[in-house]
Amino acid sequence: MRVVRLASEIDFDGWRVAARDLRTEGIPPETIVWTVERDLFSPPPCGEGAGGGGASAEMAGSEPSPPPQPLPVRGRGFTVPPAFVELARSVVLHRSGERFALLYRLLWRLEREPRLIDNPADPDVAKARDMEKAVSRAIHKMHAFVRFRLIETEPEAYAAWFEPAHRVTEAAAPFFARRFTTMTWTILTPDACVAWDGQTLKVSDGADPADAPAEDAQEELWRTYYASIFNPARLNEKMMRQEMPKRYWRNLPEARLIPQLIETAQERAAAMVAATPSPAPDRVLKAALRQARDGSYNGDVPTSLEAVAAGVQLCRRCDLWRDATQGVSGQGAAHARLMFVGEQPGDQEDLAGRPFVGPAGQVFDEALAQAGVPRDRTYVTNAVKHFKHEPRGKRRIHKTPDRGEVQACRWWLDAERRLVRPRVIVALGATAAHAVMGKATPIGANRGKALQLPDQTRAVLTYHPSFLLRLPDAAARERARAEFVEDLRLAGELAGLLD
Amino acid sequence: MAVLDIRRKLSILADAAKYDASCASSGGEKRDSVGGKGVGSTEGMGICHAYAPDGRCISLLKILLTNFCIYDCAYCINRVSSNTPRARFSVQEVVDLTLNFYKRNYIEGLFLSSGVIRNGDYTMEEMVRIAKALRLDHDFRGYIHLKLIPEASPELAAEAGLYADRVSINIELPQDESLKSLAPEKDVGDIKRAMGRMRLAIDERAEPARTAPRKTFARSQSTQLIVGADQASDGDILARSASLYGAYRLSRVYYSAFSPIPDSSHRLPSSRPPLLREHRLYQADWLMRFYGFEQPEIIGAGEDLDLSVDPKTGWALRHREKFPVDVNLADRETLLRVPGLGAKAVERILLARRQARLTIDDLKRVGAVVKRAKAFVVAEGWTPGMATDGEHLKARLVEPAQLSLF
C-alpha cells in the first residue's frame, strides 16, 4: 500500500506530480491511498479585519486561470489529452473524498484506452463529469449568491461571508475581481479567504462564521424588492428550492422572507381571483368602436399617394397583413413618367417599409444605373403590398402571392396608376405582368418590346431582379442581366428619361 | 400627492413590473470593469442572483419608472382605469438603486420599463436618461434591458440601443384582433414597425466595422405573449411566434400565463394562471428553435397542445411509423426527435458511440430520460418489441403533474 500526502485539499499540482511518477512506476490504482497533509502550525485565518493577517498568497489578479498544459514528459514519460487535465483541475475542487483516487484511476486507464475521456458513457468518466458539473455549479452559485456588505464608507469597502458547496473560493474569485475591479472587497469562507484591493487578489486560510460582516442597510430595500417581485398566483416552491438550495439560505438576506411569502401566497392569490372586477369605463368601449370604424378600407377611393400609404396599413382585403410588419406602398416621384411594378416586398422591404431596398433592390439599382435611368425620377411599387412568406427557423422564406391576393391588391395598384399617371409601366416578373396586364402574360415571349395598354399607357415586361439572383448558371445569368438592362433602357427611352 | 419614501415606491413599482416574464441577462457583449471607473461585467451567460418562491429567476432589478399610464389595456394592472396605487421614480433614484444593489452582488443590472406618461417620446426620453447616466456618468458595465415604447420616435429607440444590451417590445396578445379590443390605444402596426427598425439596426451594427471602430449597440430583442387572456389557441400562439422569430430575429419570445391581477377588468378570465399550458408552449418553442421542428409539425392553427404529454412525445405518438430509432445508427436530426433525448444527450450519444455500441444503461449515463425514450429506441441488447405500437403507450408516458397546479 502506498500513501501519498498532498499539501492541501485542492493541491492539483501535487497530485499531478505524484500521479505522473506513480503511473511511470507502474503502481496500480487499487494500491494507493491519497491523503491531505494537516498542518499543525497553520497560520491564523484572515477573519480579523478585511484581508488582514495570516499567511497569504497572491493570485494572478483578474487574469483567467492559465490554459491547461500537457503534462511534461520525463524519463519514459507520457502525454494525456488536454481535456483530461482540464477535467482533473476541476474535479480536485469537489468535496468528495475519492476524487484523487478516481482521477488516478482515469489516468491509469488512459494508458490502454487513450480515447477514454471522449466516452461520456463510461462509468468512471461519467462520475468525473458529474463531479466536474457539481464544481462548476458551485462556482456559478457562488457568483450568484455572495452578498457583499458595506463595512467602511470612506473609501468604500465591502465584505461577504459565504459557504460554497465545494472548495471553489479561489476558482470563483477572479470573476469578482473582473466585475468589482474598482471596489475593495473580501470574501470569507470556511475553506479560504480572498481579498481584492483594486490591484491584486490575496488568498489566505479559511475563516469562522463569527467573522461575518454586520448587516447592511440596503438589505431591507433588497427584501422589499424580493417580496414585491414575487407573484403569489404562480407559487412554485419546488422550482425555487431546486435552483436556490436551502443550504445557501442562511447567508442570503432575502431568504428569511420565504416561509411567510409561501404561507400567505394561497390566500393572496385566492383573493385576487375572487375580487369582483371593476366595470369597464365607457371610454374603452368608445375607443373599440373607433378602432372598428378605422377598418373601413373599402371606403372612398384614395385621392392622394399619402392616402394610399395610410390605407395600405389598414388594409384587410386579404390575409397577408397578419404576418407582415407593415404594408409597403410605392415610393418615388409623384408624377413620374416611368413606373416600375415588382411582385411584393421582401424581408428587408417589410422591415424598412420601403420597396426594393433588399438584395433584389441592389440588382435593380445597378441595372438602372447601367441603363442610364435615374431612379429618383421614377415611381417604384409592387403588385402586392404585404410580404407573403413562411417562417423557417430564424428566417422567412418568400412565397409567391396567389391570384386572389394579386386581385385583392389591384385596388391599390390601380389607385397608384391613376394618381401617378405614368407614360410607361414596367412590370418586373410574372406576378407584376399579371397585375399590370390584367391577365397571365408570359415574360419570355413578350419581353423586349413596347406593349399597348387600353389607357394609352405603354407597358414593358421584363424579368424580376430576384430571378437574376436565383439563376445558378453564370453564363445564363450574364445573358439575362444584359437583357434586363436592355429592357430598362427601352423603357427609359419610351418615357423620355434618357439623356 | 403624498411624498412616498423610496421603499414604498420600490414595492409599488416592482410589483407593477412582475407580470413581465423576461429576466434574462444573457447575450450581452463580453466586458468587465478592468481599467474602468465604475463597476460591472457581463460574461455572456446571465446569472440568477435569487429565486422567488414562484420559482422565477431574479437576475435584474426589474422595475417600472412609473406605473402612471394614459393607456387602458385590459390585461394590465397599470391601466388608467385600475385602482392600483401609483408611484414614480426620479432618474437619480433609479440610478442609485441600481448601483447600490449591483455593488452588493444582488443583481446583474437593470430592466427598466414604464407606463406611458404624457406621451411616448417623453416617457422614452426619461428611460434613456437613466441608461445614459449609468453608462456615461458612472461607467456602469453591467446589463441593461430597456423596454421600448412603440410609438416613441425612431431616434429615441436608436439612442436606447446605444446604452442597452437588450431592448424589447411586448406584443402581449397573440392575435391582432384581440390586441385591438383589449388594448384599444395600442397600434399593432407601431409595434411591428418598431421591431422591424430595431432588427435592421441590430443587424447593421453586428456587421464587422469597416473603418471607424463601431459603437456598441444592443445585441438582441425579445417580446412577450400573454397566454390565456384571449381566445387564441396554442396553434395560433406558436404560429405568431414562428412569424416573430422569422421577421425580427428575436432571441426569445416569452410566454406569460395570464395571471389574475388585483382589480382586474371584467373582460378577462379571473382564474388561476394556466401554468402547465405556459410550460408546454415553452417546450414547443424549444422544439422549433433547437430541435429542427417546424411549427405546423407541432400543432396546427386553431388546435391546442395536449397538456398530458410534452409536445415532442405528442409528435412521436402521432408518428409511430418513424420509430423505433436505432441510437447506434441514427443521424443527429433523427435522434433529436426521440422523446427523452435532449440536445445535450444527443451530442454525447454521437461521441460515445464512436467507441462502443450503446446500451440502455449507457443512455442513462449520457443524460437521457430512459423512461420516456425506451419505447422509441433500439440499443445494444434492447428492442422495444411491440411497445412502440402498443395502445397503452401514451398512458404510460403521461407524467404526473409536476407544476403546482393547486
User: What pLDDT digit, counting tens, does each position of B260-296 carry?
Assistant: 777 766 667 767 778 889 999 999 999 999 999 999 9
Cα–Cα distances in Å, from B235 out to A413, B145, B152, B283, B292?
34, 30, 32, 13, 17
- Number of Cβ within 10 Å of residue A53's Cβ equals 15
Predicted confidence (pLDDT) per residue in A85-104, tens digit: 999 999 999 999 999 999 99
Å between A73 CA and nearest CA of chain B: 27
Give the pLDDT score at B215.
61
Is A234 close to B275, i.e. CB distance below 8 A? yes
Give the pLDDT score at A62.
44
Give the pLDDT score at A47.
47
Give the pLDDT score at B101.
98
Percentage above 90 pLDDT, chain B:
54
Give the pLDDT score at A284.
47
Q: Spell out which residues of chain B touch residue A150, defining contact as CB-CB under 8 Å.
A: 104
DSSP B17: T
Is A234 close to B261, i.e. CB distance below 8 A? no
Is A239 close to B257, i.e. CB distance below 8 A? no
Give the pLDDT score at A61.
45
Q: Spell out which residues of chain B touch residue A262, defining contact as CB-CB under 8 Å.
A: 53
Q: Which amino acid is residue A334, in one-letter code?
A: A
Q: Spell out which residues of chain A touch residue B197, defining contact as CB-CB under 8 Å.
A: 351-352
Q: Which of A305-314, B55-64, B357-366 has the lowest mean pLDDT?
A: A305-314
Give the pLDDT score at B331.
95
d(CA A378, CA A491): 11
More confident position, B144 or A455: B144
In this prediction the ipTM stands at: 0.88
Give the pLDDT score at A56.
58
Q: Is the CB of B108 inside 8 Å of chain A's CB atoms?
A: no
Given a contact cutoff of 8 angstroms between Cβ atoms, the answer to whether A317 and A336 are in contact is no
Give the pLDDT score at A299.
57
Give the pLDDT score at B174.
82
Q: Spell out which residues of chain B touch residue A220, defining contact as CB-CB under 8 Å.
A: 7
Percentage above 70 pLDDT, chain A:
87
- Whether A365 shows a pLDDT value over 60: the answer reads yes
Question: How sure is the predictor about B207, in pLDDT bands with cuts at 50, 70 and 90?
Answer: low
d(CA A172, CA A186): 13
Q: Spell out which residues of chain B touch residue A280, defining contact as CB-CB under 8 Å.
A: 74, 81, 265-267
Name the one residue in this structure whose C-alpha cell is 496500480. Answer: A28
- Grid coordinates representing A33 are 491511498
Given a contact cutoff of 8 angstroms between Cβ atoms, the answer to whether A332 and A380 are in contact is yes
Q: Spell out which residues of chain B touch residue A225, defining contact as CB-CB under 8 Å.
A: 10-11, 14, 61, 101
Hey, which bits of B123-213 come out as E strands?
Answer: 143-147, 166-168
Is B53 close to A265, i.e. CB distance below 8 A? yes
Total CB pairs under 8 A between chain A and B? 281
More confident position, B67 or B3: B67
- Across B377-400, average pLDDT: 81
Q: Which CATH superfamily is domain B6-298 in?
A: Aldolase class I (3.20.20.70)
β-sheet bridge partners, residue B257: B227
d(CA B156, CA B145): 15
Angle value at C-alpha A343, between A341 and A344, nearest 5 degrees: 110
Is A392 close to B294, i.e. CB distance below 8 A? yes
Angle value at C-alpha B50, between A226 and B26, nearest 5 degrees: 115
Cα–Cα distances in Å, from A486 out to A284, A462, A483, B234, B379?
58, 10, 5, 52, 64
- Across A203-214, average pLDDT: 92
- Number of Cβ within 10 Å of residue A400's Cβ equals 13
Of A465, A455, A385, residue with least CA distance to A422: A455
**Beta carbons within 8 Å of A204's beta carbon, 6+ residues apart:** A43, A45, A46, A51, A53, A54, A55, A56, A57, A192, A193, A195
Is B184 close to A229, i.e. CB distance below 8 A? no
- Grid coordinates representing A381 are 411599387
Question: How sure is the predictor about A314, in pLDDT bands with cuts at 50, 70 and 90?
Answer: confident
- Whether A44 shows a pLDDT value over 60: the answer reads no
Give the pLDDT score at B341.
95
> In what side-by-side order are the strands of the sheet with A458-462?
A331-332, A378-382, A338-342, A424-428, A458-462, A451-452
Is B403 close to A160, i.e. CB distance below 8 A? no
Given a contact cutoff of 8 angstroms between Cβ atoms, the answer to whether A93 and A10 are in contact is yes
| Residue B398 three-state SS | coil
Cα atoms in the Cβ-side hemisphere of radius 13 Å centred on A403:
3
Class of domain A303-494: alpha beta
Cα–Cα distances in Å, from B72 out to A456, B4, B19?
53, 25, 16
- Whether A460 shows a pLDDT value over 90: the answer reads yes
Which of A162, A216, A228, A242 would best serve as a mutation to test chain B binding (most B beta carbons within 10 A)? Answer: A228
d(CA A114, CA A112): 6
- Number of Cβ within 10 Å of residue B21's Cβ equals 22
Q: State phi, psi for B224 to the nearest 5 degrees.
A: -135, 140
Nearest to B262 among A126, A272, A348 (CB): A272
Q: Spell out which residues of chain B touch residue A353, defining contact as CB-CB under 8 Å.
A: 193, 196
Of B304, B225, B228, B236, residue with least CA distance to B264: B228
Q: Which amino acid is residue B271, in one-letter code?
A: S
- Whether B177 shows a pLDDT value over 90: the answer reads no
Give the pLDDT score at A233.
87
Q: Is the CB of B103 inside 8 Å of chain A's CB atoms?
A: yes
- Across B328-345, average pLDDT: 95
Nearest to B366 among A120, A290, A393 (CB): A120
- Helix (DSSP H) and strand (DSSP E) numbers for chain B: 15, 10
Å between A405 CA and nearest CA of chain B: 19
More confident position, B217 or B61: B61
Is A175 close to B43, i.e. CB distance below 8 A? yes
Give the pLDDT score at A50.
41
- Whether A72 shows a pLDDT value over 60: the answer reads no
Q: Spell out which residues of chain A touch residue B236, defining contact as CB-CB under 8 Å.
A: none
Q: Is the CB of B184 inside 8 Å of chain A's CB atoms?
A: yes
Is B6 close to A126, i.e. CB distance below 8 A? no
Q: Which of A6-10, A215-219, A228-232, B26-30 has the lowest mean pLDDT?
A: B26-30
Cα–Cα distances in Å, from B50 out to A259, B59, B64, B95, B358?
15, 7, 20, 21, 39
Q: State phi, psi for A220 to the nearest 5 degrees.
A: -65, -40
Of B288, B231, B287, B222, residue with least CA distance to B255: B222
Q: Which of A406-410, B28-32, B362-366 has the lowest mean pLDDT?
A: B28-32
Å between B181 CA and nearest CA of chain A: 6
Give the pLDDT score at A448.
92
Of A342, A357, A352, A361, residue with least CA distance to A400: A342
d(CA A167, CA B72): 54
Is B18 close to A395, i.e. CB distance below 8 A? no
Is A120 close to B352, i.e. CB distance below 8 A? yes
Is B18 close to A229, i.e. CB distance below 8 A? yes
Give the pLDDT score at A398.
93
Q: Is the CB of B253 inside 8 Å of chain A's CB atoms?
A: no
Q: Spell out which residues of chain B touch residue A325, defining contact as CB-CB under 8 Å.
A: 192-193, 195-196, 247
| Residue B227 three-state SS | strand
Predicted confidence (pLDDT) per residue in A21-40, tens digit: 999 999 999 999 999 986 54
Is A181 close to B51, i.e. CB distance below 8 A? no
- Across B65-81, average pLDDT: 86
Of B147, B377, B363, B275, residue with least CA distance to A232: B275
- Grid coordinates representing A281 are 369605463
Question: How sure is the predictor about B6, in pLDDT bands with cuts at 50, 70 and 90?
Answer: very high
Angle value at C-alpha B347, between B342 and B350, nearest 5 degrees: 125
**Beta carbons within 8 Å of B4's beta carbon, 6+ residues apart:** B12, B87
Helix extents (H) in A316-377: 347-352, 359-371
Give the pLDDT score at A225.
97
Q: Spell out which residues of chain A touch residue B221, defining contact as CB-CB under 8 Å.
A: none
- Whether B405 shows a pLDDT value over 90: the answer reads no
Is A230 close to B289, i.e. CB distance below 8 A? no
Q: Spell out which residues of chain A touch residue B61, defining contact as CB-CB under 8 Å.
A: 225
Q: Which of A36-45, A195-204, A358-367, B383-392 has the lowest mean pLDDT?
A: A36-45
DSSP collapsed to 3 states, B42-102: ECCCCCCCEECCCCCEECEEEEECECCCCCCCCCCCCCCCCCCCCCECCHHHHHHHHHHHH
Q: Is the CB of B57 inside 8 Å of chain A's CB atoms?
A: yes
- Whether A49 shows a pLDDT value over 80: the answer reads no
Q: State phi, psi for B274 to the nearest 5 degrees.
A: -75, 80
* Domain boundaries along the sequence of chain B: 6-298, 311-397
- Across A355-381, average pLDDT: 94
Given a contact cutoff of 8 angstroms between Cβ atoms, the answer to whether B403 and A242 are in contact is no
Is B81 close to A352, i.e. CB distance below 8 A? no
Q: Which of A117-126, A466-475, B25-34, B207-216 has the lowest mean pLDDT?
A: B207-216
Nearest to A229 among B48, B58, B272 (CB): B58
Within its chain, how far is the Cα of B318 from the centroid?
28
Burial bucket for residue A84 (CB in 10 Å: 0-12, 13-18, 19+): buried
d(CA B122, CA B128): 10
Predicted confidence (pLDDT) per residue in A129-184, tens digit: 999 999 999 999 999 999 999 999 888 899 999 999 999 999 999 999 999 999 99
Q: Spell out which residues of chain B touch residue A283, defining contact as CB-CB under 8 Å.
A: 72, 81
Å between A210 CA and nearest CA of chain B: 20
Q: Is the CB of B195 inside 8 Å of chain A's CB atoms?
A: yes
Residues 281-320 of B with CB under 8 A from A: 288-289, 294-295
Given a contact cutoff of 8 angstroms between Cβ atoms, the answer to whether B203 and B249 are in contact is yes
- Grid coordinates representing A278 are 371593476
- Grid coordinates representing A55 are 499567511
d(CA A308, CA B323): 54
